[in-house]
Structure 1
Amino acid sequence: MCPLGVRTSNSTRNLETGAAKLWLLLVGVNQYQDERIPSLSYSAQDCQGLGAALSAATEGFPQKELRIYCDYSEHLPLVENVRKSLQEIAAATKAIDTVLVYFSGHGMLEPSSQKVVLCLQDTQQDNLVKTGLQLQELLQILENCAAQQQLVWLDACHSGDLTFVGSKGDKNALLNSTQELVEILRQRAAQRKGFYALLSCDRGQQSWEFPQLGHGVFTYYLIRGLRGEAADSQGIIEADGLYRYVYHQTLAYIDKANQQLRVINQLKKGRGDNQIHSEYTLQTPKRIVEGVGEVILGLKPNHKGIARHPRQGLIVDGVSQIKIASALIKTLSNSGNFEINYWTGRGNSTNLDVRKAIQKCLLSESFSESPKEYQIKETATIFLYLHGQIQETAKGESVLVLADDTVINRSWLRKQLRLCKSQQIIILDCPFAESNIRDWVEELQIGTDVGQCLIACTAPPDTSEKFASTLLEIFSKSSEYSGLTAASLITQLQMNLASTEVNLYFWLSGSQGIIEVFPEQNLLVNENFDQPTEDIDDLNSSLGIDYSQLQDLLQAGRWLEADAETTNLMLKIAGREQQRYLDLPSLENLACADVLTIDRLWVKYSHGRFGFSIQQRICQSIASQASDPVLSLMLGSNKVAAAETCIDFANRVGWRLKDAWISYDNLTWSEDAPMGHLPFFGFFESVWRVKVLGVWEWHSAIATANWWQLSVKLFSRLEACQTTKI
């Protein structure tokens, strides 16, 4: 195999020539012989999927050995099987080799000895130390191994009922061993330069499993990263690059899942349903390493290796033509990866049976072939846009009229939706409709756990195209950024149509995974960031300001100092060095060349993680609508919406934690920080903070909204500068 532009390095050359060998030992346990140890859903699948991904990534390495022990493999994950295999690998390795050990299953803390034990299939809860694999034993075997590069990946901190249990299985005695895991691995890393550990989550956290993914979220992104999404511009899949990819993708998935739950909970509250979904707690993969340089895990495969289930779409354009239908089709095809078909109630297509077209779209996944080999699959998604008029027949039945002789019965459509096995995004664009369109939204719901997004609208004749044009506007903006979820689409439609005569109705369900209108593009491997960067930065300034110090700080990864320098530079650009903060007029007149220079430097040296434009993208995706009616009545819905949007933004970029703001000193000053974490807006006056009982919190919703107004002004100025390309 010959990936594009593979750089010459000793690590890569040794693996490609066969001088070095890659040893891979993967262990995954779903079912335990001891019934007191809870079963897991996806550990064995994690093991299989990771094995297939590693095989594809290491196709170009002649010297490799992959051993898999899981419920579905020839060799079961029994203690002696795994221990014997570890010892054999340790005895056979050479110094130039690399060893990777992966475990997915339960990790337990033995109460009396406080030893961390990895539970294999035959582990007994009453005798953990003797019947399980102690973490210290695993590390000791690796200590006796000659291989200079050793990696340990642990997905052993499972969520909910699938978590660490005490010796008696009493839920009140749950023992979370992540603290001990971290400390033991830290000690090991300090003792050996070539040791690299990766945990699925940090202290006090748990690993989440999503049925939609068919894996734990941590291992799911390990697999996708190894399938090529974590490869650098030269096709190299390196340990640090894979970690950064998994870290940011895991955070993004949990965040989007919580966004969806918030919209679902909003619907529940509106109906008086008090059974609110709890949001997923934070899961941040943890890297433990000291002094390790380049660790090559594979090369980007020539084929993607990911079986993408069909994303089918159908736009049914009824009695009055949608003027922007072609633009919707193009955007859905390009940004949503949908295979879009089009039906119209005019011309030759009236001879086609629209019911067959709808059935073909909804049932496409039912007829798709299963992959011949193990492949990670993306959830199938259906996009169905129905544009027509809702009327009642002489018998009192509600139908959707698409043409003079073409109608869709509500009961028939509901039956087809229930037969569909894919996630659904169903849009009813019904101008001139009577109030019974709400009944359609109620009747077409297929359950609370199934992934379904229903959006319906009515409008008077003079604004009949307003909904479609607003939808296209949202699609066009989202296509340039980091994807669009159904929850975000609903939120943005609510905001954009709030002051119009369009009546909006919606339903969102599915707590098992995310409904994505546009899949998120991976910024780490986005083509824009894969291109070779010029050695000489453009430090253009229309004010004669020197940006070389900021350049040097960012290049060296000195994030705290770079952030402070950015604040000083922003004040200097605006001529507000004496006041020490920017106001709305000064933001309106910021010099474009200088703002773009600062942004380019941050984006480049953070590899697309930090910068004003990254924060701008996040802002575009999370606009909120006021949800507190009492506060809205007092302060105005716009103020409350701005305050809530600000809080959502701060949560997304990591400026808030557990409903409280993080003080400046405790921000994350490393590239591991959440997307958009830096630069911090220290150039705004922080009048909205007071310290109460030692906790930083908002002073008032009004002050919050005012502060957010400054942020929005900064983003709008940046957008204006980008448009003019100064």
Structure 2
Amino acid sequence: MCPVGVRTSHSTHALETGVAKLWLLLVGVNQYEDEEIPSLQYSALDCQGLGEALHAATQAFPQKEVIIYNDFASKQPKLANVLTSLREIAAVTKPIDTVLFYFSGHGMLEPSTQQVILCLQDTQKSNLIDTGLQLQEVLQLLENCSAQQQLLILDACHSGGMTLLGARGEVDPQLNPTPELVEILRQRAAKRKGFYALLSCDRSQQSWEFPQLGHGVFTYYLIRGLKGEAADSQGIIEADGLYRYVYHQTLTYIDKANQQLRVINQLKKGRGDNSIHPEYPSQTPKRIVEGVGEVILGIKPKNIPASRHPRQALIVEGLDQSQASLSLSKILSTAGSFAVNYWTIRGNNSQSNVRKAIQKCLLAESFAELTTNSPNIDTIATVLLYLRGQIQETEQGEAILLLSDEVTINRAWLKKQLRRCQSQQIIILDCPIENGGGKVSLRDWLEELQLGLDAGQCLIAAAVSPENREKFANTLLATLNQGIQASGLTAAAWITQLQVEFAQTDIQLYFWLSGSQGIIEVLPGKTIFSSENMQEKAENIHNYPPDDLSSEVGIDYAYLRDLLQAQRWQEADRETTNLILKVVEKQPYLDIDTINKIPCKDLYTIDKLWVSYSHGRFGFSVQSRIWEGIKDCAATDPMLALMIGSAKVAASETCIDFANRVGWRLRDYWLDYNSLTWEGDAPMGHLPYVGFFEPIWRVKVLGVWEWHSAIATANWWELCVALFRRIETCKNGSSI
């Protein structure tokens, strides 16, 4: 759940005037002299990048000392060097000073004493006590230190590299000291008000390095936060604000990675490929602090250089100019942060000019000057190409996209340009099909344009009839508008929304998603909102027409509306359960007969409020559309089908599929109620939760919530299906 913040006064006077001094000791270890301790790829880069970010954030503080030990620095991360610096800092600091100690590398448990050891470059696994940095010794030195503000940041539970297709290498059980770390730091925090500890992960978790980030995910967001994204409205970067930022961003990154993985797995299943990739394990940054206090780390740096990776988009309109394509270009420019070029095929726009425009968009990153060898911390290069025309075949059998009588794009030529492109790609084909299309096949186009599993590529197309040719573009636009959230919109989430939207239509959606080196963002997340934007948002709320709060049985829905308007999602969810039970006068849970008696007007009111205030993200009707897209799946476990029947197995498997899509499950486990995501950027259909159904399918086994049986799962799912069918019944009766 979202952590509760520590109240701060945001006073920086002592640091800005030089009365107080900021001491920064940063340590990062990649390579170990002992071959039995596995090397890491990014700990030294983490240390180096964090040092640069802290230097920028503390420019306004005249009194500071930065000591950095890592593989790339002149001072190597050896035990004697780090201990000497810790002792010197402890001896000279004043009470008004602030001390920050950061470590990125392996943490280990000493087998005989169970002490937590921070492994330095010269640490020997066979003699951890004498050659490693004992955490208790670090804490004792800080205890002897006069500085009243002390911050300890540990990224010490690494488990090797991770790509967007899974983890690499086996994990040494000795390399997971998180339970002991948490306990030791809790004891330390209880003794001193000004002590503040940040850990990269919680108990039973480990820290992950993602090559596509060029850093460990925890430190990656520490760096971005210190570059200004974690600053408050006054530009102050304080430890608790930095933690909240890193907490949400780390969880969001893992969630986005899982979104992308689910779509890739869906494609693999559709092709009969059973090599399904497991979802990524959670990494939840943890804060340990007692009492009320503040630890100020810096001020938002000014004049941060812009990323060298512009996001390029090209809209090519080969049909009559469409308002939808114009609106699409606007939303890509504003919410998508793309540099958008809009082309209509008329006048002097010849075939050669169109090809040059496509090449300029796709190859922009190829022509960019590389000013550094280190990975860019801000933005991954992304191109978006939207082509609107008619696909045809020439008499010679060549596949072409007809933009006008004189302008065509050859599929083979387009594929060649895609292969030359070094950026992530989002390619959209809006191509009405005449009379079924004959030999023309959008599926063939998508299969031919695919670059392989590792390339960062998203392909989207839909087969629509000429008389309904605006439907696809309008749906693209609508789902993009729904996706404007603080966390942004990934290509995987966009595909999922489009699947839901087209599930009940005769429009066939085609898509492809690949990429092991990064998450493809259609709309990047926004972490900073200006006061002007917040004021504009508040004013827009008052411009909406009054909500329809009508009820067939005299229920007052004003409180639910107020909770949803305030985005108090968990309280609104509980109020929804109470109202549903009140409407049908049934306690404590609903059965199928009662579900079928829910008044349509009341069901409409509740659903409309959820859909409206979540901008189309939550609501029973949203969940119903997701169900429509998966409800006809057949059972895949023949042995279990023989035992309990195919219908029960299919219902159980559909239930699990649905729960995975809406985020009620995490990997192989169901989340308990309090662990659901109570944020506006939760997965589509995540809320409201059906708390008015009896959870008969859960038993507690060794502290883990699991399914009791496939039969119980299927029985519970029948209740959900009854609710979705009630929604459809009301909708068909023009009541919802």
Q: Following TM superposition, by how much is the alpha carbon of 1:701 offset from its aligned partner in structure 2, in angstroms? A: 4.5
The aligned residue for residue 542 of structure 2 is none
1:143 maps onto 2:143 in alignment: yes
Structure 1 residues 32, 9: CA separation in 2 closer, same or farther (over 3 Å shift)?
Answer: same
Q: 1:511 to 1:702 in 2, by over 3 A?
A: farther
- After superposition, where does 1:636-675 map in structure 2 within 5 Å? 644-651=657-664, 656-663=665-672, 667=674
Measured after TM superposition, the shift of residue 438 of structure 1 is 2.2
Question: What secondary structure does 2:634 align onto?
Answer: helix
Aligned equivalents of 1:161 and 1:24: distance in 2? 27
1:225 aligns with 2:225: yes
Q: Is the 8 A contact 2:362 2:418 kept in 1?
A: yes
Q: Which amino acid aligns with 1:400?
A: L
**More divergent stretch after superposition (366-375 vs 330-339):** 366-375
Matched, 1:427 2:428: yes
Distance 1:494 1:533 in 2: 32
Partners of 1:396 and 1:342 in 2: CA distance: 30
Shift of 1:503: 2.7
Deviation per CA, 1:661-699, whole angstroms, max 9, x where unpaired? Answer: 4455xx36999999699x996884223533446546483
The AA in structure 2 aligned to 1:100 is: L
Offset of residue 227 of structure 1: 1.6
Contact 2:463 2:508 survives alignment (8 Å)? yes
TM-score after normalising by structure 2: 0.80
Closer/same/farther in 2, CA of residues 675 and 103 from structure 1, 3 Å limit: farther
The residue number in structure 1 matching 2:505 is 500
Q: List runs of 5+ in structure 2 lacking aligned partners.
A: 1-6, 163-168, 540-546, 637-645, 731-736
Q: How does 1:418-497 map to 2 (within 5 A)?
A: 418-432=419-433, 433=437, 434-479=439-484, 482-497=487-502
Q: CA deviation at 1:225?
A: 1.4
**Alignment match of 2:634 (pick from 625, 630, 635):** 630
Q: Distance in 2 between matches of 1:481 and 1:182?
A: 31
Instruction: Indicate conservation of the 8 Å contact 2:424/2:520, yes or no.
Output: yes
In structure 1, how many angstroms separate the alpha carbons of the residues matched to 2:381 and 2:485?
Answer: 23
Of 687, 692, 695, which residue of structure 2 is paired with 1:685?
A: 692
Distance 2:472 2:245 in 1: 37
Displacement of 1:426:
0.9
Please tell me whether the aligned partners of residues 8 and 294 of structure 2 are also in contact (alpha carbons under 8 angstroms): no
> Map of 1:193-204 to 2, 5 A cutoff?
193-204=193-204
Q: Can you list the C-alpha shifts for 1:190-235, whole angstroms capped at 9, x where unaligned?
A: 2222111111111111212222222111111111111222222222
Secondary structure, counterpart of 1:353 in structure 2: helix
Pair 1:616-2:621 in alignment: no
Distance 1:377 1:691 in 2: 43
CA RMSD for the aligned pairs?
4.5
The amino acid that maps onto 2:327 is A
Partners of 1:141 and 1:492 lie apart in 2 by 54
1:412 match? 413
Equivalent residues of 1:103, 1:156 under 8 A apart: yes
CA 1:531–1:113: 2 relative to 1, 3 Å:
farther
Shift of 1:711: 9.7
Amino acid at match of 2:354: V
2:47 touches 2:70 (CA, 8 Å); kept in 1? yes
For structure 1, list consecutive stretches of 5 or more residues without a partner in the other structure: 1-6, 163-168, 535-539, 601-610, 718-726
Deviations 1:296-349 (A, max 9, x none): 222223345562621100112225544422111111111111111122222222
Counterpart position of 1:84: 84
CA gap of 1:305–1:218, structure 2 versus 1, over 3 A, is: farther
CA contact (8 A) 1:588 1:713 kept: no
Question: Displacement, 1:103?
Answer: 0.9
Equivalent residue, structure 2, for 1:56: 56
Tell me whether 611-620 or 314-323 shows the greater mean CA deviation.
611-620
Deviation at 1:380, TM superposition (A): 0.8
Q: Contact 1:314–1:341 at 8 Å: present in 2 too?
A: yes
Amino acid in structure 1 at the alignment position of 2:40: L
Q: What one-letter code is carried by the residue in structure 1 that aligns with 2:466? A: P
Q: In 1, are the aligned partners of 2:178 and 2:202 still within 8 Å (CA)?
A: yes
Determine the C-alpha separation between the residues in 1 that align with 2:457 and 2:15: 47
TM-score by length of 1: 0.81
| Partner AA of 1:428 in structure 2 | L
One-letter code aligned to 1:301: P
Larger mean Cα displacement after TM superposition, 299-308 or 361-370: 299-308
CA–CA distance in structure 1, aligned partners of residues 21 and 601 of structure 2? 59
Secondary structure of the structure 1 residue equivalent to 2:129: helix
Residues 213/417 of structure 1: CA separation in 2 closer, same or farther (3 Å cut): same
- State the Cα distance separating 1:283 from its structure 2 match: 0.7
Are 2:455 and 2:515, in contact at CA under 8 Å, matched by a contact in 1? yes
Judge conservation of contact 2:26–2:103 (CA < 8 Å) in 1: yes
Within-5 A mapping of 1:530-541:
none
Percent identity over paired residues: 56
Report deviation, 1:272: 1.8
Aligned pairs, number = 674
Please give the alpha-carbon distance, in whole angstroms, between the structure 2 residues aligned to 1:357 and 1:545. 53
Letter in 2 for 1:153: I
Give 1:4's aligned residue: none
- Please name the residue that 1:388 is paired with: 389
CA contact (8 A) 1:646 1:705 kept: no
Distance of aligned partners of 1:445 and 1:532 in 2 relative to their CA distance in 1, 3 Å threshold: closer
Partner of 1:110: 110
Give the letter aligned to residue 403 of structure 2: L
The one-letter amino acid paired with 2:430 is D
Aligned to 2:123, the other structure's residue is in SS state coil
- Taking the aligned partners of 2:287 and 2:157, their CA distance within structure 1 comes to 15
Q: Distance in 2 between matches of 1:275 and 1:258?
A: 16
Distance, in Å, in 2 between the alignment partners of 1:591 and 1:490 is 27
> Secondary structure of 2:630's match?
coil
Contact 1:196 1:287 (C-alpha < 8 Å) held by counterparts: yes
Q: Name 2:263's counterpart in structure 1.
A: 263
**CA distance, structure 1, for counterparts of residue 579 and residue 464 of structure 2:** 45
Distance 1:497 1:670, change over 3 A: closer
2:106–2:175 Cα contact (<8 Å) kept: no
Bigger Cα displacement from structure 2, 690-699 vs 181-190: 690-699
Cα distance change on mapping 1:277 and 1:323 into 2, 3 Å: same
3-state SS, counterpart of residue 228 of structure 1: helix
Return 175-184 or 251-260, whichever deviates more: 175-184
Aligned twin of 2:639: none
Measure how far apart 1:289 and its partner are.
1.3
For the 8 Å contact 2:108–2:174, the answer to whether it is kept is no
Q: What's 1:209 paired with? A: 209
CA gap 1:527/1:588 in 2 versus in 1, 3 angstroms? farther
Amino acid at match of 2:424: Q
Contact 1:456 1:504 in 2 (8 A): yes
Whether the 8 Å CA contact 1:248–1:674 is kept in 2: the answer is no
How far, CA to CA, are the matches of 2:635 and 2:181 in structure 1? 45
**Which residue in 2 is equivalent to 1:153?**
153
**Do the aligned partners of residues 409 and 533 (structure 1) sit closer, same or farther apart at CA in structure 2, a change above 3 Å counting?**
closer
Which piece of structure 1 moves more, 184-193 or 247-256? Answer: 184-193
Question: In the aligned structure 2, how far is the partner of 1:343 from the partner of 1:262?
Answer: 34
Q: State the alpha-carbon separation in 2 of the partners of residues 288 and 295 from structure 1.
A: 13
Tell me, yes or no, if the aligned pair for 1:662 and 1:696 is still in contact at 8 Å: no
Change (3 A) 1:315 1:292: same
Q: Give the distance between the partners of 2:647 and 2:179, measured in 1 at CA.
A: 46
Which stretch shifts more, 522-531 or 471-480? 522-531
Query: Residue 401 of structure 1 corresponds to which residue in structure 2?
Result: 402
Task: State the 1:281 CA deviation.
Answer: 0.5
Instruction: Output the amino acid matched with 1:56.
Output: A
